[in-house]
């Protein structure tokens, strides 16, 4: 009994110590950002400019997101949208060709990955949708900025988005989700993939080096456009908390005010796919861990039970 | 040359040449341990086992680790974690073990303080144990450099900077320690050597010394009772195990140790498989970058209390306070002036001293991780750091006035 009391005291002090240096310390060190459930309605954007007391901006943003909500209510015509979508294909070719700083993303699974509201907002004004309009206030224009002139009609936007949601929403693998949503800016060296896609195997070193130069050129272009090279995401899943990653992807400005990272508009399911891929590459031992863990613990439970019996036998008659 | 008879068994053959039977008696079956103990007396063996686990897992990691600033990060996070069979297991065992070894060291230390196990002939046990604490601290710090992540780099930067001595501005010494102006390849390779060779050797030597120091004064017991070991041993050998105050190390004491170790291993491997994150800071999964300082730099939890003693004071005063805090526990046997060897609960004012010290060190630990920019936390840290020194200054006086039991 006395031993149990001592054990209780040791356990309580240990748990208090743990609570203080882990959950409590981390809650104090990182600001808390609420998740908005992957709803792209501009609420966070408006709050940010309100907090910064930028009256003009508040008006502009409110009007913009009200417009987006209006378009979202229109009934899109899939057949009509197909013609409009052809405009998109002018740049979104799926080829790794840099345009104005970045490679335009592939749209093969856009309907499965991105939110409808976000796509509408993006066509209306890419910089506003991505919540990086602060980057383009002077002379720079968003690489997709010309879309505003090319697709100004609300009904046309609704049609194109309806087409994307209907026809570009096929089954998407976790890897496709990552490379379409993140891969044009972020490399992942542990998965042997760069901004130019998967690195092929080369027979000759000369070819490998030539490819490497292409990668460096692309990275330099992205760097010039973004201000710094976006980090390699190989083990980002272990470098950031799950909550940080989720809220950061929803709205990068919420976690890192002023960052040049655009919001990419993933739906919750789309984000889950990306996250799964990050886990597969950055934390590949998870299945093995979950498989081996119970076995090792069972071993030590039996070990401890036997040790207890041995102890009882050895101490017999000692008290 | 000695005369050798033909041996009839392997045991006899070994006994003739190595005196294994005598050894077994001296080290195990007739190495006498007091009977009046609780599970805290098993912490020594738990520590030895944890050190063994760290050594074995470290050997496996060493086979694939590359001490080079260009390769280190990926050799740990990719090669060991993805390509080496069970590499992840060895790494998580090593990381969790490095953290838990300090938890057990602290439990072991505060057990010693509570029961007065550093007094009256047991000073060397305490001093060699403190030597082990320092060696383990150096081992933990040098090991923390090896993955070459952001926290490795910046912890290396901050800690080596301490050697500039504040206003002494001894930057030459800092550069000499680093082998460069900033932590770089020379820094990494020398800390690699320290971590895998020199400090482990020192630890092994100190463990042997620590065991050796126990031999003559014997292990303390729950009541701090002084009794005749030879008499108790005779009683035990005569078969009166109930009345004897001792038990043999093996198998009686060991059987309890193994049971406690079993419980500990359940806890240990639960952490290894399901809760290893606490021992592997997320910040260290970003590669070292000398141009990007992390928002918060803090040491691992086991250094936080002394870090917090450094932080709340001005530069020079903080360094002096920090330096004193590092060595003050060595002085315990000499600052405790009481003649009593007894649990703190029976020692008057010392009882309060013990619990205050324990709580103060825990509060310091909490504050050491929190951002000092928060005025409340900074003030709590300052008060706790001052209390730490007040307690040490008060110790000789309150123990001097203690009544003899």
Residue A7 is assigned to a structural domain of this protein:
yes
Going by C-alpha positions, the residue among B143, B126, B16 that lies closest to residue B91 is: B143
Residue A312 is assigned to a structural domain of this protein:
no
Answer yes or no: do B137 and B163 share one domain: yes
Beta-ladder partners of B384: none
Residue A132 is assigned to a structural domain of this protein:
yes
CATH code at B40?
A: 1.20.810.10
Total count of domains within chain B: 2
In chain B, residues with a C-beta closer than 8 Å to the C-beta of A289 are 88-89, 273
pLDDT value at position A247? 94
Give residue B42's pLDDT band: very low, low, confident or very high (50, 70, 90): very high
Q: Which of B244, B271, B297 is the last residue of a domain?
A: B297
Asked if B262 has any chain A CB less than 8 Å from its own CB, the reply is yes
- Beta carbons of B255 and A318 less than 8 Å apart: no
- Beta carbons of A20 and B263 less than 8 Å apart: no
Answer yes or no: do A116 and A21 share one domain: no
In chain A, residues with a C-beta closer than 8 Å to the C-beta of B366 are 20-21, 24-25
C-alpha B147/C-alpha B132 separation (Å) is 24
Q: Which of B297, B324, B340 is the last residue of a domain?
A: B297
- Beta carbons of B286 and A10 less than 8 Å apart: no
Q: Which residue of A has its CA nearest to B82?
A: A284
> For residue range A228-260, what is the model confidence (pLDDT) as tens digits?
999 999 999 999 999 999 999 999 999 999 899
Answer yes or no: do B188 and B84 share one domain: yes
| HSE-CB of B213 using CA atoms within 13 angstroms | 22
Answer yes or no: do B401 and B342 share one domain: yes
Answer yes or no: do A5 and A152 share one domain: no
| Contact present, B79 and B295 (Cβ < 8 Å) | no
Answer yes or no: do B123 and B248 share one domain: yes
Q: Which residue of A has its CA nearest to B259?
A: A307
pLDDT value at position A36? 86
Q: Which residue from A189, A234, A297 is facing B269, i.e. has the nearest CB?
A: A297
Q: Please give the average per-residue pLDDT across B290-301, as a whole number.
A: 92
- Beta carbons of A28 and B371 less than 8 Å apart: yes
pLDDT value at position A150? 85
Which residue range is the domain that position B233 belongs to?
30-297
Give residue B321's pLDDT band: very low, low, confident or very high (50, 70, 90): very high
In chain A, residues with a C-beta closer than 8 Å to the C-beta of B285 are 235-236, 238-239
Residue B278 is assigned to a structural domain of this protein:
yes
Answer yes or no: do B199 and B348 share one domain: no
Residue A319 is assigned to a structural domain of this protein:
no
Q: Which residue of A has its CA nearest to B79?
A: A190
3-class SS at B33? strand
- HEC states along A10-34? HHHHHHHHHHHHHHHHHHHHCCCCC
Which residue range is the domain that position A272 belongs to?
39-287
C-alpha A118/C-alpha A127 separation (Å) is 12
In chain B, residues with a C-beta closer than 8 Å to the C-beta of A7 are 39
Residue B364 is assigned to a structural domain of this protein:
yes
Beta-ladder partners of B32: B248
Residue B21 is assigned to a structural domain of this protein:
no
Residue B5 is assigned to a structural domain of this protein:
no
Asked if B195 has any chain A CB less than 8 Å from its own CB, the reply is no
Residue A293 is assigned to a structural domain of this protein:
no
Q: Which of B270, B297, B324 is the last residue of a domain?
A: B297
pLDDT above 90: residue B252: yes
pLDDT above 90: residue B114: yes
Q: Please give the average per-residue pLDDT across B312-340, as a whole number.
A: 94
pTM of the model: 0.94
Q: Which residue from B256, B274, B358 is facing A311, i.e. has the nearest CB?
A: B256
Answer yes or no: do B268 and B332 share one domain: no
Answer yes or no: do A176 and A271 share one domain: yes
Answer yes or no: do A232 and A122 share one domain: yes
pLDDT above 90: residue B131: yes
Residue B403 is assigned to a structural domain of this protein:
yes
pLDDT above 90: residue B364: yes
Residue B15 is assigned to a structural domain of this protein:
no
Answer yes or no: do B326 and B260 share one domain: no
Residue B253, token pair as written in the block: 């004491």
> For residue range B209-239, what is the model confidence (pLDDT) as tens digits?
999 999 999 999 999 999 999 999 999 999 9
A267: left (phi over 0), alpha (psi -120 to 50) or beta: beta
C-alpha A232/C-alpha A212 separation (Å) is 16
Dihedral angle of Cα A47, A48, A51, A54, to the nearest 10 degrees: -110
Beta-ladder partners of B248: B32
Answer yes or no: do B290 and B320 share one domain: no
Residue ranges, chain A, pLDDT below 70: 138-139
pLDDT value at position A30? 86
Q: What percent of chain B has pLDDT over 90?
A: 94
| Of A47-61, B48-62, B221-235, B318-332, the least confident | A47-61
Answer yes or no: do B112 and B78 share one domain: yes
pLDDT value at position B23? 94
Give residue B156's pLDDT band: very low, low, confident or very high (50, 70, 90): very high
| Averaged confidence pLDDT in chain B | 95
Residue A294 is assigned to a structural domain of this protein:
no
| Contact present, A111 and A164 (Cβ < 8 Å) | yes
Asked if B107 has any chain A CB less than 8 Å from its own CB, the reply is yes
Residue A65 is assigned to a structural domain of this protein:
yes
pLDDT above 80: residue B107: yes
Answer yes or no: do B172 and B223 share one domain: yes
Residue B370 is assigned to a structural domain of this protein:
yes
C-alpha A127/C-alpha A61 separation (Å) is 11
In chain B, residues with a C-beta closer than 8 Å to the C-beta of A190 are 74, 77-78, 82
Coarse DSSP helix, strand, coil percentages of chain A, rounded to the nearest 5 percent: 65, 5, 35
In chain B, residues with a C-beta closer than 8 Å to the C-beta of A3 are 38-39
Give residue B102's pLDDT band: very low, low, confident or very high (50, 70, 90): very high
Place of tokens 């993933």: A266
Residue B115 is assigned to a structural domain of this protein:
yes
Residue A118, token pair as written in the block: 């976000």
Nearest-5° Cα angle at A244, A241 to A248: 145
Strand (E) or helix (H) holding A198: strand A197-198
Give residue B150's pLDDT band: very low, low, confident or very high (50, 70, 90): very high
Answer yes or no: do B220 and B334 share one domain: no
Answer yes or no: do B216 and B331 share one domain: no
Residue A137 is assigned to a structural domain of this protein:
yes
Asked if B83 has any chain A CB less than 8 Å from its own CB, the reply is no
| Of A25-29, B144-148, B196-200, the least confident | A25-29
Q: List CB contacts of B140: < 8 A, sequence separation 6 or more.
A: B98, B102, B300, B302, B303
- Beta carbons of B259 and A304 less than 8 Å apart: yes
ipTM above 0.90, yes or no: yes
pLDDT value at position A1? 82
Residue B212 Cα, gap to closest chain A Cα (Å): 26
- Produce one character per residue of B253-270: b if its CB has 16 or more CB atoms within 10 Å, e if not: bbbbbbbbbbbbbbebbb
Q: Which of B115, B245, B256, B304 to mutate to test the interface with A (most CBs of A within 10 A)?
A: B256
pLDDT above 90: residue B405: no
B224: left (phi over 0), alpha (psi -120 to 50) or beta: left
| HSE-CB of B85 using CA atoms within 13 angstroms | 0
3-class SS at A191? helix
pLDDT value at position A139? 66
pLDDT value at position A138? 65
Residue A120, token pair as written in the block: 């509408």
Total count of domains within chain A: 2
Q: What percent of chain B has pLDDT over 70?
A: 100
Give residue B130's pLDDT band: very low, low, confident or very high (50, 70, 90): very high
């Amino acid at each position: 009994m006395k031993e149990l009391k001592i054990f209780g005291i040791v356990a309580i002090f240990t748990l208090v110590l743990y609570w203080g240096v882990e959950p409590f310390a981390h809650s104090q060190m990182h600001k808390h950002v609420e998740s908005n459930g992957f709803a792209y309605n501009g609420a966070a954007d408006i709050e940010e400019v309100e907090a910064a007391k930028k009256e003009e901006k508040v008006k502009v943003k409110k009007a913009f997101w009200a417009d987006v909500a209006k378009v979202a209510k229109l009934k899109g015509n899939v057949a009509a949208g197909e013609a409009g979508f052809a405009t998109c294909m002018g740049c979104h070719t799926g080829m790794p060709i840099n345009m104005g700083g970045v490679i335009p993303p592939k749209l093969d699974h856009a309907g499965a990955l991105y939110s409808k509201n976000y796509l509408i907002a993006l066509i209306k004004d890419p910089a506003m949708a991505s919540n990086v309009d602060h980057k383009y206030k002077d002379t720079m224009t968003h690489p997709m900025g010309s879309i505003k002139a090319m697709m100004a009609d609300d009904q046309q936007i609704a049609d194109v988005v309806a087409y994307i949601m209907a026809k570009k929403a096929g089954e998407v693998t976790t890897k496709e989700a990552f490379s379409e949503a993140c891969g044009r800016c972020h490399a992942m060296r542990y998965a042997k993939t760069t901004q130019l896609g998967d690195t092929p195997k080369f027979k000759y070193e000369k070819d490998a080096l030539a490819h490497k130069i292409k990668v460096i050129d692309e990275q330099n272009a992205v760097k010039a456009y973004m201000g710094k090279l976006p980090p390699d995401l190989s083990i980002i899943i272990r470098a950031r908390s799950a909550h940080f990653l989720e809220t950061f992807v929803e709205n990068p400005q919420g976690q890192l005010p002023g960052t040049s990272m655009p919001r990419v508009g993933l739906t919750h399911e789309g984000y889950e796919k990306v996250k799964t891929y990050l886990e597969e590459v950055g934390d590949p031992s998870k299945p093995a861990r979950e498989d081996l863990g119970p076995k090792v613990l069972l071993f030590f439970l039996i070990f401890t039970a036997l040790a207890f019996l041995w102890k009882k036998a050895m101490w017999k008659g000692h008290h | 040359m000695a005369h050798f008879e033909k041996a009839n068994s392997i045991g006899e053959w070994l006994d003739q040449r190595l005196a294994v039977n005598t050894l077994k008696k001296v080290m195990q079956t007739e190495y006498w341990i007091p009977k009046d103990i609780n599970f805290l007396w098993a912490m020594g063996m738990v520590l030895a086992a944890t050190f063994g686990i760290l050594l074995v897992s470290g050997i496996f990691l060493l086979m694939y680790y590359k001490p080079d600033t260009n390769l280190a990060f990926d050799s740990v996070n990719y090669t060991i974690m993805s390509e080496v069979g069970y590499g992840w297991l060895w790494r998580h065992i090593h990381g969790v073990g490095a953290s838990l070894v300090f938890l057990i060291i602290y439990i072991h230390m505060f057990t010693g303080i509570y029961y007065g196990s550093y007094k009256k002939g047991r000073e060397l046990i305490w001093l060699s144990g403190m030597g082990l604490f320092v060696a383990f601290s150096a081992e933990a710090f040098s090991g923390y450099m090896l993955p070459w992540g952001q926290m490795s780099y910046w912890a290396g930067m901050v800690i080596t900077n301490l050697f500039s001595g504040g206003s002494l501005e001894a930057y030459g010494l800092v550069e000499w320690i680093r082998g460069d102006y900033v932590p770089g390849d020379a820094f990494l390779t020398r800390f690699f050597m320290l971590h895998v060779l020199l400090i482990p050797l020192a630890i092994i030597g100190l463990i042997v010394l620590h065991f050796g120091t126990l031999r003559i004064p014997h292990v303390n017991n729950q009541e701090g009772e002084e009794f005749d070991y030879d008499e108790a041993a005779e009683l035990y050998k005569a078969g009166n195990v109930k009345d004897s105050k001792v038990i043999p190390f093996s198998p009686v004491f060991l059987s309890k140790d193994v049971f406690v170790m079993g419980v500990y291993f359940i806890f240990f491997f639960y952490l290894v498989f399901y809760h290893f994150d606490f021992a592997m800071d997320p910040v260290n999964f970003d590669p070292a970058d000398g141009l990007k300082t992390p928002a918060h730099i803090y040491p691992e939890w086991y250094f936080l209390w002394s870090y917090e003693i450094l932080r709340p004071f001005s530069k020079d005063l903080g360094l002096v306070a920090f330096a004193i805090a590092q060595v003050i526990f060595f002085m315990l046997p000499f600052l405790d002036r009481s003649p009593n060897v007894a649990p703190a609960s029976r020692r008057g004012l010392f009882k309060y001293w013990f619990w205050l010290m324990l709580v103060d060190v825990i509060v310091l630990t909490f504050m050491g991780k929190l951002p000092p920019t928060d005025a409340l936390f900074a003030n709590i840290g300052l008060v706790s750091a001052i209390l730490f020194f007040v307690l040490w200054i008060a110790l000789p006086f309150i123990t001097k006035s203690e009544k003899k039991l």
